[in-house]
Amino acid sequence: MSITIEAVKAALSTVIDPNTGKDLVSSRSAKNIQINGTNVIFDVELGYPAKSQIDGIRKASIAAVRTIEGMGSVTANVYSKIVAHSAQRGVKLLSNVKNIIAVASGKGGVGKSTTSVNLALALAAEGAQVGILDADIYGPSQPMMMGISGRPESADGKTMEPMENYGLQVSSIGFMIDPDEPMVWRGPIVTQALTQLLEQTNWRDLDYLIVDMPPGTGDIQLTMSQKVPVTGAVIVTTPQDIALLDARKGLKMFEKVGIPILGIVENMSTHICSNCGHAEAIFGAGGGEKMCGEYGVDFLGALPLTMSIRQQADSGKPTVVADPDGPIAVIYKQIARKIAIKVAEKAKDMSSKFPTIVVKND
């Protein structure tokens, strides 16, 4: 009995990617099936960074194909391929950044910057090329959280190299000013500074650029929505009613300008006592999930209020690098994977596929 491509596809259709919940055939992940006698070789292409997931998916797909009668050797090449996805209409993608993810909140103090840096580090830990843009011009915190000091280098006097640590490329106004110097700038200057940080940083082939947004819905948010090709936005909130009130405004703003909401992260969801381990919902419970239900967006996950998250960020070694296998880092990695999968499911950017048509009058 000869082995057919149809039989291999039927076997692979029983393998469910545990992260997307879809089988390898209907999701078009299984590719390049080659049969040589009784031996089979095939590829499994994942659209999200998955360094820690590849081995499990490889074993499951090989085991499924081996169930075919008369099967010889089975080889599966499982890999990630992250592509550029479409942004809001009329905004051109950056040539050296595939996907821009804005991490926003309606109000300050909900842990948005800490969430941004840990999500960026989680994506990098899974093998992606990741950058972080500190868009909070008035209160830049990424230099401290990333443990980076000094000034960025510029070879041509016009562009600058990103600062680096923990495998992340970082750009922030905080690298160019004294830490104690207040930014007494009006809106137009602030938006110009943000545009320059984004466009004049020599990002190197980023799969994802995480933008740590300032709180609120002001000038910087408007500039981001009109001039920056944002693939999607993540809203960070606490379960507290006041925080949710402002988070709703942030969500509605992104909806109005055509930027899809990738989901909501609930920060400080429960307080864990460092002495006895007792968990208490001091800011209320279930607010983030309720908001997701109201607006039809995904609940990405909840993070506890613990001293370690704050201490690690303050010391310049965020949780995902300080305790990469700890329970909180695992939550950040799960949230980051959900975000990457949401991005992968979006429409791909097809602008490079079409030729530019120029009409000339002779």
Query: What mean pLDDT, rounded, does the chain reach?
Result: 86
Q: Are residues 68 and 175 in the same domain?
A: no
DSSP state of 15: P
Q: Pairing state of beta strands 232-237 and 39-46?
A: unpaired
pLDDT, mean of residues 279-288: 70
CA gap 236, 302 in Å, rounded: 10
For residue 303, the enclosing domain spans 97-344
Residue 182 lies in a domain: yes
Residue 107 lies in a domain: yes
Residue 67 lies in a domain: yes
Q: Are residues 143 and 284 in the same domain?
A: yes
Q: Are residues 105 and 54 in the same domain?
A: no
Q: Are residues 245 and 313 in the same domain?
A: yes
Q: Does residue 283 have a pLDDT over 70?
A: no
Q: Are residues 50 and 158 in the same domain?
A: no
Q: Are residues 145 and 267 in the same domain?
A: yes
pLDDT, mean of residues 237-260: 80
Q: Are residues 35 and 178 in the same domain?
A: no
Q: Are residues 150 and 288 in the same domain?
A: yes
- Annotated binding-site ranges for ATP: 106-113
How many domains is the chain built from?
A: 2
**Tens digit of pLDDT for each residue in 156-188?**
888 999 999 999 999 998 888 777 776 676 777
Does an H or E element contain 41, and which?
A: strand 39-46
Check residue 3 and give its pLDDT.
83
CA gap 132, 146 in Å, rounded: 10
Residues 109, 185 contacting (CB under 8 angstroms):
no
pLDDT, mean of residues 105-114: 80
Residue 264 lies in a domain: yes
Q: Are residues 107 and 238 in the same domain?
A: yes
Which of 22, 48, 80 corresponds to the end of one domain? 80
- Model pTM? 0.89
- Annotated binding-site ranges: 106-113
Residues 172, 142 contacting (CB under 8 angstroms):
yes
Check residue 221 and give its pLDDT.
76
Read off the CATH number of the domain in which 321 is found: 3.40.50.300
Residue 87 lies in a domain: no
Q: Does residue 354 have a pLDDT over 50?
A: no
Angstrom CA distances, 96 to 89, 129, 139, 203, 205, stand at 19, 11, 27, 6, 5
Residue 62 lies in a domain: yes
Q: Does residue 355 have a pLDDT over 70?
A: no
**Tens digit of pLDDT for each residue in 130-154?**
999 998 877 788 989 999 988 899 8
